[in-house]
Structure 1
Amino acid sequence: MSKLYIQNELPTEILIFIFKRVRFPKNLTLSCRRIAKLSNDPQVKAAWIIYQFGAAHSLFYAIKIGPSFLDVAVAQAIIAQGGILSRYFVQRLHMNFGSHDNKLIELKIAHGVGSSQLQKPQTIPWASDLPISVYIFLLKAASDKYKSDLCLKGNDMELFHFFTGGPQTIHYAPLVLAKNIDQIKDLILRFKFIPLPPKNPDNLPKNNNQENITPEEYPQKDGHENRRQLNVIARSILICKEIVNLWKEIGYYEICYDVNDLVMQGALLIMFPPQPSSRWSMPDIKIINARLTELIEVGFQLTYCVILDILLVFEKRLEQIGKILLESFAEIKHESVVNLLHHCLMETNNPKLNFKSQPVLNFMYKFLPDSPKSNLIDF
């Protein structure tokens, strides 16, 4: 297909079809004047952001890209094309909107006034540079949608936390959730409650030591949901997996992707509690597989990266429960333990993981007596 044909004869619909599937379209716009012109069209921008990030997170990422991408026309097009304007999104937007007075921050730091955590932001916080015209448009759109129930000063994440038995232990939380199931349905189906997206794993701190993870602020300056809030979501799913279907019903199809690791880890932490009671007994492979399989059927995945994370979580208990975990994972993935471990060891070479847990590696090597360590991983 010649460049001249693309420039002059290829139907616009085909160009848009191609454009919205390109994750980083800058080079594409430089190569074709028609595509460059289309890329500035609000409808095309909306189609691109929804295709790339999903209807549930499209407005979040449109704001994150910045004012060069998002104006009122684009925001309007995103909503018109199915982008979800959730009440929680607007609550968080209202919480984050506007820039700080850096001079005031400097003076407070100099005089030791205020929180010890006070510091000038190194990057532009999410939504702080949003044009006020877009902010007003989104508030008005939300007001028209939710009317007197908008509750700008509310927090639907906290509501969800209480409705799903967050303050209760995992043994009593199901009773609270069952009692509040109608409110939970209302929160999701009517108010479109959707957590903001988690950070991309590529941007997370390179740290495999769970004990050294520093507490996360809320709300985070980058706008992403922090781990504590995502654990609220994951815990609710582990109690009542049907909640996933409620989110999918409103178009939040990324739910399984967003909390996949937390859900799969959480399922095993419930079966293998860190401090088991005297009445606890180790589940067998059949019980483990049944639980993980029902989560997989909903849409969660037992990837090799997830398996490595699970082994890390249980690092100090691998001698006790590691073998049954590996046998269960191998059975679910329909492969031998040896093949499973070879795949996991290949994942440890992924620079994005920065995997450096020698105890976990030593444990895996025990099941591969004929494999020289030097050939499997290289630090």
Structure 2
Amino acid sequence: MESLSSELKVEIFKYVSRPMSLILINRNWYSTSQNPHARAEWLIYKYGRAHVLFHAIRLGNFATVEVVQTLLAKKAIISRYIVQRLMMQFGTYDQRLIEMRIKYNTNIKALKNKPWASDLPLSVFTKLITEATNELKLNFTIRGNDLELFHYLTAGAHAIDQAPPILLKNLQEIEDLILNKKFIPFPSRPRLTTAYQHSVGVTEQFPSQDGYENKLEINLISRAILIHPELVTLWKKIGFNEVCSDMNGLVVKGFFVVCFPPNPIKTWVCPSSDTVAGKLQKLINLGFQLTDNIIEDLIKMFKSQMKTIGESLLNSFFKIRGNSIPPIVETTLIEIRKTKKKRRKRKR
């Protein structure tokens, strides 16, 4: 291991899930871990170019000016939104002031975890602001909120059946937001841990303490994609190739909720499996996937509606996946057909 070239060490370092385990081996690996190129390679491999700056900032001192420079040289995406969020959350909090607020206002809760960007060195913060200014080539609105702007432009304040014409009317502004301002939502929280729940309480706030987008914000993005799937193509144009994997579960499940509403109006007619499969195929062509886990979740989700929509829902799975579907689909379909036969016999 001592005789390995520096290039090979960087390559090995990139694939290590937890660098600390490698760093502790000897000084040579510690030296490799301090290499900005090695850190940048590790970050991009682990998080992708669309979210790498978010995670670099989240990791605090792991990101140096040199690391940021290397990330940008490797085509990491810097957006106006990330600068806006930095302006909201950069810097350490006055702990004494927080203590006094808690003492005299019972509605304020203590910060149990350090907020996103609070550990970011000032030099890195300045570097990101400067690079964003140069990259975006405009006097951007630092005190804005591109996620909120996206919400209004995509008709998030309107019912989903009223949204399409409003979104289309604003499409040029949405395209500018994505293609020129590089708007990409932050990643969703990997899982809602007990520690996070205790630190923020029941109500999610924006911006979230840990930086990740809350459920409300992520649902906003998936809703917009369902209304206008071509948004995926816009995001892929700027390098957000993970958009489908990031949003897969919400988009695909949301699609079926639109097809089979839980509280349909009186004039609603159950769509055929051909209709459902045809529409879903368009999303699949963009990169979304109807996975086994999603199928199983959908069957549980629509359990109370199976009498009405069961055959259409389950047959649409067959049309998309063929025979490569989880066993629960076939067993559920058999149960539905048995129930229908029993009803017919009773009527006779």
TM range (shorter): 0.7 to 0.9
Q: Deviations over 1:182-225 (max 9, x none)?
A: 11111111110000011114x4569xxxxxx9442111101001
For structure 1, list consecutive stretches of 5 or more residues without a partner in the other structure. 1-5, 207-212, 344-361, 370-379
Aligned with residue 74 of structure 1, among 54, 57, 67: 67
- Tell whether 2:89 aligns with 1:101: no
User: Alpha-carbon deviation of 1:52?
Assistant: 1.0
Q: Counterpart of 1:262 in 2: which secondary structure? A: helix
Q: Read off the aligned partner of 1:51 and give its amino acid letter.
A: Y
Map of 1:50 onto structure 2: 44
Q: 1:249 to 1:148 in 2, by over 3 A?
A: closer
User: Alpha-carbon deviation of 1:323?
Assistant: 4.0
Contact preservation (8 Å) 1:102, 1:120: no
Q: Tell me the TM-score normalised to structure 1 length.
A: 0.80
Contact preservation (8 Å) 1:88, 1:193: yes
Map of 1:246 onto structure 2: 234
- Tell whether 2:171 aligns with 1:178: no
Contact preservation (8 Å) 2:271, 2:312: no
Map of 1:313 onto structure 2: 301
Q: 1:217 to 1:37 in 2, by over 3 A?
A: same
- Tell whether 2:316 aligns with 1:340: no
Aligned with residue 138 of structure 1, among 128, 140, 159: 128
Q: Deviations over 1:326-379 (max 9, x none)?
A: 232233222277x43189xxxxxxxxxxxxxxxxxx979957x9xxxxxxxxxx
Contact preservation (8 Å) 2:49, 2:75: yes
- Rounded Cα–Cα distance in structure 1 between residues aligned with 2:306 and 2:119: 48
Q: Read off the aligned partner of 2:34 and give its amino acid letter.
A: N
- Rounded Cα–Cα distance in structure 1 between residues aligned with 2:233 and 2:77: 16
Map of 1:356 onto structure 2: none
Contact preservation (8 Å) 1:164, 1:236: yes
CA RMSD of aligned residues (A): 2.7
User: Alpha-carbon deviation of 1:261?
Assistant: 0.9
Contact preservation (8 Å) 1:64, 1:126: yes
Q: 1:26 to 1:108 in 2, by over 3 A?
A: closer
Contact preservation (8 Å) 1:7, 1:32: no
User: Alpha-carbon deviation of 1:172?
Assistant: 2.2
Identity across the alignment (%): 40
Map of 2:2 onto structure 1: 7
User: Alpha-carbon deviation of 1:127?
Assistant: 0.7
- Rounded Cα–Cα distance in structure 1 between residues aligned with 2:45 and 2:171: 32
For structure 2, list consecutive stretches of 5 or more residues without a partner in the other structure. 196-200, 339-348
Q: 1:336 to 1:191 in 2, by over 3 A?
A: closer
Contact preservation (8 Å) 1:63, 1:127: yes
Map of 1:218 onto structure 2: 206
Moved more, 151-160 or 164-173: 164-173
Aligned with residue 156 of structure 1, among 128, 141, 146: 146
- Rounded Cα–Cα distance in structure 2 between residues aligned with 1:291 and 1:305: 20
- Tell whether 2:288 aligns with 1:300: yes
Contact preservation (8 Å) 1:271, 1:283: yes
Map of 2:57 onto structure 1: 63
Q: Counterpart of 1:105 in 2: which secondary structure? A: helix
Contact preservation (8 Å) 1:285, 1:324: yes
Q: Deviations over 1:17-74 (max 9, x none)?
A: 232122223323344654432221111211110111001111111122221x111111
Map of 1:37 onto structure 2: 31
- Rounded Cα–Cα distance in structure 1 between residues aligned with 2:113 and 2:334: 43
Q: Tell me the TM-score normalised to structure 2 length.
A: 0.87
- Rounded Cα–Cα distance in structure 2 between residues aligned with 1:331 and 1:214: 41
User: Alpha-carbon deviation of 1:129?
Assistant: 1.6
- Rounded Cα–Cα distance in structure 2 between residues aligned with 1:18 and 1:27: 13
Q: Read off the aligned partner of 1:292 and give its amino acid letter.
A: L
User: Alpha-carbon deviation of 1:86?
Assistant: 0.7
